[in-house]
Amino acid sequence: MATNFKQLRKDGVVKHADIRSTELKNIHVEAGFNVIEDAALFLVQAEALADFLANGGDVPPIELRIGEDDLMYVVDGEKRVTAYRILVERGISQYEWVKFTPFDGDEMKRKDRLSETREGRLFTPIELSKLYQWYADKGLNSREIGERVKRSRGHVEQHLLLSKASDPIKEMVISGALKAGVAIEAVRQHGEQAEEVLTKKISGKKKISASDMTGKPLAIEIVNAMEQALAGFVRGLPEKAHEDIAAHGSGTTKPGTLVTIPAALLATLLKVQGDVYEARLEQQHRATRKANKAKQMSIDEE
């Protein structure tokens, strides 16, 4: 059975006054517990925190737990611990002893604590995707994850999609060449082919925008025609069709249930869909011509 904090006080490993303290050398960081997107940036921030402390700044105590191996591990405060180590390396001995409060909770509660406090720093989309994927790997669904981290189910599902993106896609998000929302939509639409699609889109560019993936907005005339066609389609459906569709939505229809739709209504929808297709095709042709023209100008300049 793992040592408790009372026993550590008796052994002299932990000092206990109003707030407990222990030697910095007794504190360990659990590999993979924290979700850090950019290790280099994390170190820069820890250096800045060390400067702040060296100039008289103060921070709250860290939170520690006792592992099954009887060692003390950081639950909240990895950046502070890193800053303390930097200060000790600078010869500032007062940080050889560190104030802490004990954390009592299982693995899931420790992860919950991580989602609640970030030492003044927000999670990046990639970090959120790692955190939510950890919960998913433990068997939680998106609703249950959302309840634990106090975010919507849709928010969780989006970041779980991002966690499934390939490493090159994640690197594009980290570098700023690709917004997380665009990456999520690409994975949603193209699955395993998302990387190939995005690689083609970014060719010759510094960034990929949402319009690169979806195309420019359609002309207002086409949008209005689409809305009118859909409204007319819904109004024109027979009452029996409405009932069957409602039953399907509630899950009470039998497998293979068919709905009868008047041909005229369907023809109107198909006509509008054809107009949308032609408009998108023309957008693609214009974009191709523009890209070819830019490429030719580059060649001429050489």
Give the count of beta carbons closer than 10 Å to the beta carbon of residue 101: 15
Q: Angle CA(5)–CA(11)–CA(12) in degrees, nearest 5? A: 90
Q: In what order do the strands lie in the sheet with 27-28?
A: 14-16, 20-23, 97-102, 62-66, 72-76, 27-28
pLDDT in tens, the chain (302 residues): 456 666 666 666 656 654 689 999 999 999 888 888 888 888 998 999 999 999 999 999 999 999 999 999 999 999 999 999 999 999 999 999 999 999 988 999 998 888 877 555 678 899 999 999 999 999 999 999 999 988 899 999 999 999 999 999 998 888 888 889 889 988 988 888 888 888 877 665 666 655 555 556 777 888 888 888 888 888 888 888 888 888 877 777 777 788 888 888 888 888 888 888 888 788 777 767 776 776 666 565 55
Q: Supply the pLDDT for residue 214.
A: 55
Q: Supply the pLDDT for residue 288.
A: 72
Q: Supply the pLDDT for residue 1.
A: 47
What's CA 36's distance to the chain center, in Å? 12
Tokens 């400067």, residue?
Answer: 51
Residue type at 203 in one-letter notation: S
Q: Supply the pLDDT for residue 19.
A: 64
Spatial distance between the Cα atoms of 195 and 68, rounded to a whole number of angstroms: 41
Q: Supply the pLDDT for residue 275.
A: 84
As a whole number of angstroms, the longest Cα–Cα distance in the chain is 86
Q: Supply the pLDDT for residue 289.
A: 77
Q: Supply the pLDDT for residue 83.
A: 96
Q: Supply the pLDDT for residue 121.
A: 60
Helix extents (H) in the chain: 5-10, 39-54, 78-89, 107-116, 125-137, 142-149, 153-163, 167-175, 180-190, 194-202, 210-214, 220-236, 239-249, 263-301
Non-local (6+) Cβ contacts of 144 within 8 A are: 135
Q: Supply the pLDDT for residue 39.
A: 85
Of 93, 94, 32, 33, nearest to 63 by C-alpha is: 33
Burial class (CB in 10 A: 0-12, 13-18, 19+), 235: exposed
Domain spans of the chain, in order of start: 5-110, 125-214, 220-301
- Helix H or strand E segment including 74: strand 72-76
* The CATH number of domain 5-110 is 1.25.40: no
Tokens 């910095």, residue?
Answer: 24
Non-local (6+) Cβ contacts of 164 within 8 A are: 187
Spatial distance between the Cα atoms of 264 and 238, rounded to a whole number of angstroms: 13
Residue type at 269 in one-letter notation: L
Question: In whole angstroms, how far apart are CA 154 and each of 126, 144, 146?
Answer: 16, 12, 9
Give the CA-trace dihedral at 131, 103, 27, 2, to 10 degrees: -110
